[in-house]
Structure 1
Amino acid sequence: MICVVVNNTKDWFFHSPHIKVVSARDYLTKEEYIQDKNIKVFNLCRSYRYQSIGYYVSLLAAARQHRVMPTVATIQEMKTQSVVKVLTADLEDLIRSVLNKTPPSVSQEMKLSGKTVPTFTMRIYFGHTIRKEYERLGQAVFGIFQAPLIKAVFIKPNGHWEVQSIVPISANEIPDDEKMWVVEFADMYFESKSFYHKKRHSAPYDMAILVNPDEKGDAPSNAKALKKFEKTGEEMGFNVEFITKEDYNKLAEFDALFIRETTRVNHHTFRFAQRAEAEGLVVIDDPLSIIRCSNKVYLAELMKRARIPTPKTWILHEDNMERILREVSFPCVMKQPDSSFSRGVVKVEDEAAFLSGSSVSL
């Protein structure tokens, strides 16, 4: 069953054989929606603020094991501008490419730090935009923020377009002249095969393995190892599916995420781990492990406190470089603080190499 949940059923302006329009109160209280686990919920309530009725629709949908859009995790992510900025970092080139190639026809402006800057508002309905020129960008935003109705605001403060905010909107916020498009996009979405996600086998659990096909020699696992992971996972009762960074929007379909791509904090692998953990998946590597294990400064401090024997270690910065140069003996090894798989690791043979390596690292 597909349920579109709204505050008042009059808020939803079209009917489709694919969906059932339900009031939020009925969804939260009626037994038929409490007991049935095979329900897909599209939460279009007027507000998603904390402890509002819209918030509880998404919260209890998760508790009932219903597939819900947006999830509470998505709602929380969209509330915070800094989180939105982090999650859309990978879209920077796409945003500039699309909006520079097809500049918004309607000029809008806003005050930002006392300066007037151009702005552009784009509405995304079930992953689609009214203007086809912006479709690719709309789908990319929808891939990150799985909400049925989205308003994305872009600004151009320094000659380049960037995200200002991305927020979910309710059905009654749709302009009248765009409702016909919403009807079309909703029908397209509900009829699409991708919406009806089916397990490949009858295994009780689904596991995603995040890989980067372009990562060759430095990849954590080669093709042979990945095949073994897949085989072992299936033997243990998992449906195993390999995903890439393009599949961010599919995370909620899985029960576990196994990251077999080189992880970094300022990277999509970290954002995958964060989203998967927020969705309740079992995650390897989890976000905290990525933060800890990819940072040499943290590991050096941890081993020192645990009294684990290690080579003499210095934390190098601009103010202590001359002192360390007097204390260190050659050859020595210089490492970048945030790296993995021997990247940023060099053997330093003499003072000249030390100074050269320091200038690169600092």
Structure 2
Amino acid sequence: MSRLKIVVDKLEDWVAFYPTEDLITAHDYLALGSQPDTQPTQVINLCRHYRYLSYGYYISLLAEARGHRVIPTIRTINDLGKKSIYGLNMESLNDSLNKLIVKNPQLKSSLSADNRLEVTICFGKTLFAPLADLSRQIFEQFPSPVLKVTFRLVDEWQIETVKPASIDSLEENEEDLFATALDSFSRKVWRKPSVRKKYRYDLAILIDRQEKMPPSDPMALKHFIRAGRKLGIDVDLIEKKDFSHLAEYDGLFIRETTSISNHTYRFAKKAEVEGLVVMDDPASILKCCNKVYLADLLSANGVAMPETHFLYKDRKRELKALASTLTYPIVLKIPDGSFSRGVVKVSDPQALIDQANQYFKQSAIVLAQEFMYTDYDWRIGVLNHKPIFACQYFMTRGHWQIYNHQGGTAESGAFTTLPIHEVPAKVMKVALKATRLIGDGLYGVDLKQSGDKVVVIEVNDNPNIDSDVEDLYLKESLYRIVMEEFLRRMERRRLGI
């Protein structure tokens, strides 16, 4: 069970709230010393000040040194210390604010004489209903127990200041808000002690229940949960809405399709900042999600791949000249497509130019690749530089790709799952060479083999692991291998290795 410590400067600061055994003074917490601690601990730092070298500052600093999860973190304290720093993160929040104003023009009536509006936010919640969603976003950006946010209307609305506040500054109605918000924030720490006591670590698996083609199906997710719990890891399924609770976990496993432009990357980045073990990490997502980057990386490091050309939006003359020299058919790819989406085959120069111009509406660069037809693609699953599964994905019947999205539904071809030792040595060598350029996470390398020629089509972060597909040979052992790697990394993190 996770342990909760609510730290205040003086016990009297808590007089407005129900007594709790979790309460501890700043002096007593600091006096605990840095002792080996096998029980996960959540620290809520409610000191009156967080300024540099104050008690509040030292609480968060030493909590992190002791391996405790703390709110606010030192990073948040430092970010909120100067507007020149936290102001760098305001653009998206100000955009959200002004979109909100359009929907709620009555907000102007709440302004003071100097066109300002101050709102109190407790763990992402506020009494000012029109700004409830924005308050949650601000808390996710600057996780701190109590925030005082000032909005100002000049030519347009903007967030003028974001400052941490103490509980002794709360009005009576805000004290009720704080108590409710604290209970909601801490519920995971307090719940089900009899069930959770046997688990040493907490792992979150990020999913999207509405996703049509997720990286793991519901049965595979159950296998991951079962494998983790057998190893002493309590595994929870979380969704996009749980962003603000991410710091409550020791690790994050992303099991929905990743993209730099959506929330999966923000989850990975926040997990990394909070010190969680995360797969896949932000660097891997950045490298794998953009085919332009990946093609350049593989080419620069001598990894075999189909002949590839970059097509540039503002170089139409070069595009026309190149189109006339290529051997057709040619495959065109948009940089951030997935599951065969954003990939088309063109059969002549004019078709290439027309399709490239369509793709240029989404990306300044488009890839043109040599077409290599094979009956199947290899997929080698690699974790921490070691192969863990191997599949042959066959092309959809009557189609040249594994996935066929024509007709509004995604149809996929057959597959064969093989033991690692049956994979041709050259296929395995090229796959491992490619993943070493990315990192030590979980990857799926797609390759084509034609005689002695083996080329990498792409390296996927967050590869598919579905029941009765990738696990067909190793069964439950595949899920255990992944969870053992999480356990190994969480143990190393706890020990500071």
Q: Tell me the TM-score normalized by structure 1.
A: 0.79
Q: Give secondary structure in 1 for the equivalent of 2:121.
A: strand
CA shift in 2, pair 1:127/1:309, >3 Å: closer
Q: Give secondary structure in 1 for the equivalent of 2:6.
A: strand
Q: 1:51-96 deviations in whole A, cap 9, x for unaligned?
A: 555333212112234442212243355543334546x59x939962
Taking the aligned partners of 1:5 and 1:33, their CA distance within structure 2 comes to 19
Paired residue for 1:180?
Answer: 172
Answering whether residue 131 of structure 2 is matched by residue 134 of structure 1, we say yes
Letter in 1 for 2:310: I
**8 Å contact kept, 1:98–1:137:** no
Taking the aligned partners of 1:328 and 1:198, their CA distance within structure 2 comes to 63
Answering whether residue 283 of structure 2 is matched by residue 288 of structure 1, we say yes
How many residues were matched structurally? 343
Taking the aligned partners of 2:359 and 2:17, their CA distance within structure 1 comes to 60
**8 Å contact kept, 1:11–1:171:** no
Answering whether residue 211 of structure 2 is matched by residue 210 of structure 1, we say no
Paired residue for 1:107?
Answer: 111
Taking the aligned partners of 2:280 and 2:42, their CA distance within structure 1 comes to 31
Q: Tell me the TM-score normalized by structure 2.
A: 0.59
- Can you give the 5+ residue segments of structure 2 that lack an aligned partner in the other structure? 361-497
Deviation at 1:295, TM superposition (A): 1.3
Paired residue for 1:74?
Answer: 76
CA shift in 2, pair 1:65/1:306, >3 Å: closer
**8 Å contact kept, 2:253–2:280:** yes
Match of 2:297 among 295, 302, 322: 302
Answering whether residue 261 of structure 2 is matched by residue 266 of structure 1, we say yes
RMSD: 3.6
Letter in 1 for 2:178: A
- Can you give the 5+ residue segments of structure 1 that lack an aligned partner in the other structure? 111-117
Answering whether residue 141 of structure 2 is matched by residue 149 of structure 1, we say no
CA shift in 2, pair 1:179/1:93, >3 Å: closer
Q: Give secondary structure in 1 for the equivalent of 2:327.
A: coil
Letter in 2 for 1:183: E
Q: Give secondary structure in 1 for the equivalent of 2:308.
A: coil
Higher share of residues assigned strand:
2
Deviation at 1:128, TM superposition (A): 3.0
Deviation at 1:270, TM superposition (A): 0.7
Deviation at 1:313, TM superposition (A): 0.8
Taking the aligned partners of 1:290 and 1:64, their CA distance within structure 2 comes to 30
Deviation at 1:233, TM superposition (A): 2.2
Higher alpha-carbon Rg? 2
- Report 1:218-233 matches (<5 A): 219-233=214-228
Paired residue for 1:17?
Answer: 19
Deviation at 1:255, TM superposition (A): 1.2
Q: Give secondary structure in 2 for the equivalent of 1:327.
A: coil
**8 Å contact kept, 2:331–2:344:** yes
Q: Give secondary structure in 2 for the equivalent of 1:105.
A: helix
Deviation at 1:179, TM superposition (A): 1.8
CA shift in 2, pair 1:76/1:247, >3 Å: farther
Taking the aligned partners of 1:338 and 1:356, their CA distance within structure 2 comes to 19
Taking the aligned partners of 2:122 and 2:233, their CA distance within structure 1 comes to 34
CA shift in 2, pair 1:324/1:147, >3 Å: same
Taking the aligned partners of 1:131 and 1:325, their CA distance within structure 2 comes to 59
Taking the aligned partners of 1:148 and 1:98, their CA distance within structure 2 comes to 29
CA shift in 2, pair 1:210/1:290, >3 Å: same
